[in-house]
A and B are shown apart, each in its own frame.
Chain A
Amino acid sequence: MISSSSGVAQKDIRIIKSQPSFRNLLTELWRSKRLVFAHAVREIKIRYTPSVLGIAWVLIQPVLVTVAFAFLFSRFSNLASRDIPYPLFTFVALLPWQLMTSGISRSTTTIVDNKHLFTKVHFPVIILPLAGTIVSLLDFFVCTMFVCILFIYYSFTPSANIVIFPLMLFLTLYITAGIGVMFSAFTVKTRDIGHALPFGIQLSLFLTPIAYDAHLVPEKWQMIYSLNPLVSVCLGFRWTLLGADIPLDMFLISITVGFIAATTGFIYFNKARTHFSDVL
């Protein structure tokens, strides 16, 4: 028999009904884990093959932002902690900022962009926005290498908090994926997110402690300032990699907001996904 000799499990049982459970989303996702990466690789190829500089583009943007910030702000010595070199201080915060913003903005259009795919073949649609996050994660690793170079250049010893770094990275990915997934589902219904997002990201560059330290935010604004989930990941990265002070209340508020938003995103996606092929 053709079917039994293959690697495809014959005993797969698929139940098709109007509102699949959240567990169903997870089992489907687990079953097609390979596809997530296959799709991410495909996205990377589509993105970098037609450009001359290829994967170098990943580095160009954060490096230029760091250089610009260093050039503009390094004279204000009170912006950053005294014992951390300013470019390192900035670049380490830019890492999660870029991971999150590019991950979210990349995820946002994935469903609309791949309508030719999921309206024709069955697979868990959530892998499309997730692949967006994964592509950004690969960009992130490229940038991490640059951080290593900075560490060596400034002969800076990473803090011992680095053991918590994997957890911090995981949280960042979770929030990125959750919000990305939510936005991708919104975009099926309305394209407004696509218009608002670039502007929001630009704004967030200044509303996140990247060029400056979070202590500099006036006390009465700190509460509202912390509602931005990007704040927590930037603080967290600085704390784990550079051993910088972490304003715990701001960090906690921000990470909670991010966590709730991401979880809501996954749940919303599970509800909304049944309408994707009807609407598109």
Chain B
Amino acid sequence: MQEPVINVKGLGKEFNLKQAAGFGTGIRNAVQNLFRSHQPPLPHQRKFWAVRNLTFEIEQGESVGIIGMNGSGKSTLLKMLSGVMYPTEGEAKLKGSIGSLLEVGTGFHHEFTGRENIYFAGALLGLHKSETKKYFDDIVAFAELEKFIDIPVKHYSTGMFMRLGFSTSAHLPTSMLFVDEALAVGDTAFQRKCVNRMKYLARQGRTQLFVSHDMNTIQSLCPRSLLLINGTLYESQVTADCIAEYEKIAGITKPVTQWTGHIGNENVELTRFNILSRETANPQNEFQRGDTAVIHLSYQIIHPITDLVIGIEVCDQIGNVLLRSRAGDFEPNPPEMKEPGIYTAAVTIDLGLLYPGEYNIKADMGIHNIVRLVENQAVLELKVKTPQGEQVNHVHSMLQSAAYPPWTWQFSRE
């Protein structure tokens, strides 16, 4: 078998969080720092491991995604592999040259023109000017900067800067390409172009590491991913599994049309969650404004319990809760169903309350004042459309108003 091109063994990085030193402590610390590189931590210094015990291998030509929440150590890992940061412990062995795009416009100098910066980027990789020249036209064409290539990059817009940065890294001949969140900027069209370029490079056998919060891109680019959780490697396997695990931990759940599963505790579990049309009693996710939907929550009581709370939340696409209801909010005594068995709670919602758009409905289950058992794990998608023939005049209110109660306006003249 071929040896892996990236071989990481027990890699770890510890950071020293120094608190701002008070006046007068500077000299003492400076003297200590200069002469003792491994002194015991001073009381005002806090240390923490950004990543630790990372061990994995990457084969030639693999495209691997790195997934994790903010602060989970993704960027630290990529920085260490790129060689701009040194690990505190462990070792990594890399074969081949590396092109890294750790931030927009890697290593560009603002006073220089795009042309000069491209050649300098080549020099950073050890390329002679004549070698970089071979890739120059492709870089410029891809970045769509033909007209601006001879002006200093300080006059570039963020988008132009980013396009040049990506294009340079993705065209210069490196055997590996590391990309950290670089696609976050730029318009959708260019992002698609970048993704296509990376796919092309992957087919050409270039090894790629890709950090992103955009799960769709990761999924389409990387068959395999590494999931980092608080600096340790949680899984390194099929991307889809990593994403599912990540979303579970991050509390992000992809909305589905209907949900089935088992979440809860040893006494009670949510088992089914879906939306039905009131008219047809069939599962449905697209409604017209003014329709009434029925939301069903099925749950199983395994051992007798008390104080079970069932509810729903209607959220917008960013996660803001727009409407919320819990069984028993208004009736003084909700039906107490304590005995083991399978139950279904149904709640109707008048969709006349919502502006046309896409929403998420979250199931909410818990024990009153004790624990929330289901919070973000079961999410349904809901589309509300404008009924045919209805005139849309409400764009402005839509942006600033969560709901659409049946307002009535009346005007009169005194």
Contacts and interface: CB of A to CB of B under 8 A. Distances in A.
Whether chain B is bound by chain A comes out as yes
Nearest to B15: A278
Contacts of B33: 189-190
Contact of B126 (A13, A32, A117): A32
B124 interface: yes
A128 B165 CA distance: 22
B366 interface: no
B90 A17 contact: yes
B201 interface: yes
Interface stretch (A119-127, A153-161, A201-209, A211-219): A119-127
B52 to A, nearest CB: 13
Interface stretch (A1-9, A172-180, A244-252, A258-266): A1-9
B97 A9 contact: yes
A195 interface: no
Contact of B92 (A9, A16, A120): A16
Interface string B122-135: 01111110010000
B87 A18 contact: yes
B30 A3 contact: no
B358 interface: no
Given A7-B173, A17-B87, A34-B126, A122 B120 contact: no
Contact of B107 (A13, A120, A271): A120
Contacts of B100: 120-122
B175 interface: yes
B402 to A, nearest CB: 42
Given A3-B175, A189-B34, A120 B106 contact: yes
Given A13-B94, A34-B123, A121 B128 contact: no
Contacts of A6: 127, 131, 173
Nearest to B129: A38
B327 to A, nearest CB: 54
A220 interface: no
B13 to A, nearest CB: 9
B174 A8 contact: yes
A35 interface: yes
Contacts of B126: 7-8, 31-32, 34-35
A16 B11 CA distance: 9
A224 interface: no
B96 A12 contact: yes
A97 to B, nearest CB: 27
Interface residues of A, number: 47
B123 A38 contact: yes
B107 A10 contact: no
B89 interface: yes
Contacts of A273: 86
A69 interface: no
A82 interface: no
A118 interface: yes
A186 interface: yes
B206 interface: yes
Contacts, number: 142
Given A13-B94, A14-B94, A120-B107, A8 B124 contact: no
Interface string B218-255: 00000000000000000000000000000000000000
Given A7-B128, A117-B107, A121-B84, A2 B206 contact: yes
A109 B186 CA distance: 34
Interface in A32-76: 32, 34-35, 38-39, 42, 45-46
A18 B91 CA distance: 8
A8 B128 CA distance: 10
A278 B85 CA distance: 7
B408 interface: no
Interface stretch (B74-82, B140-148, B309-317, B370-378): B74-82
Contacts of A9: 97
Interface residues of B, number: 54
Interface in B27-45: 30, 33-34, 37
B80 A16 contact: yes
B95 A10 contact: yes
User: In this complex, which of A9, A11, A17, A186 has the most chain B Cβ atoms within 10 angstroms of its Cβ?
Assistant: A17
Contact of B204 (A2, A17, A31, A34): A2
Given A46-B111, A121-B107, A277-B85, A13 B173 contact: no
B51 interface: no
B193 interface: no
B16 A8 contact: no
B81 A8 contact: no
Contact of B93 (A15, A19, A189): A15
A3 B125 contact: no
A274 B13 CA distance: 11
A121 B124 contact: yes
B213 interface: no
A192 interface: yes
A190 B30 contact: yes
Closest 10 CB pairs of A and B: A6-B173, A122-B83, A274-B86, A38-B123, A3-B175, A16-B92, A121-B107, A8-B97, A120-B106, A17-B91
Given A6-B173, A17-B87, A120-B106, 6 more contacts: A3-B96, A16-B80, A20-B86, A35-B124, A121-B107, A189-B33
Interface of B: 11, 15-16, 26, 30, 33-34, 37, 79-98, 100, 102-103, 106-107, 109, 111-112, 116, 119-121, 123-128, 131, 173-175, 201, 204-206
23 contacts: A2-B204, A3-B175, A3-B205, A8-B125, A8-B127, A10-B97, A10-B175, A13-B94, A13-B95, A14-B93, A16-B93, A20-B86, A117-B107, A120-B84, A120-B102, A120-B107, A121-B84, A122-B82, A122-B83, A122-B84, A122-B98, A189-B30, A277-B79
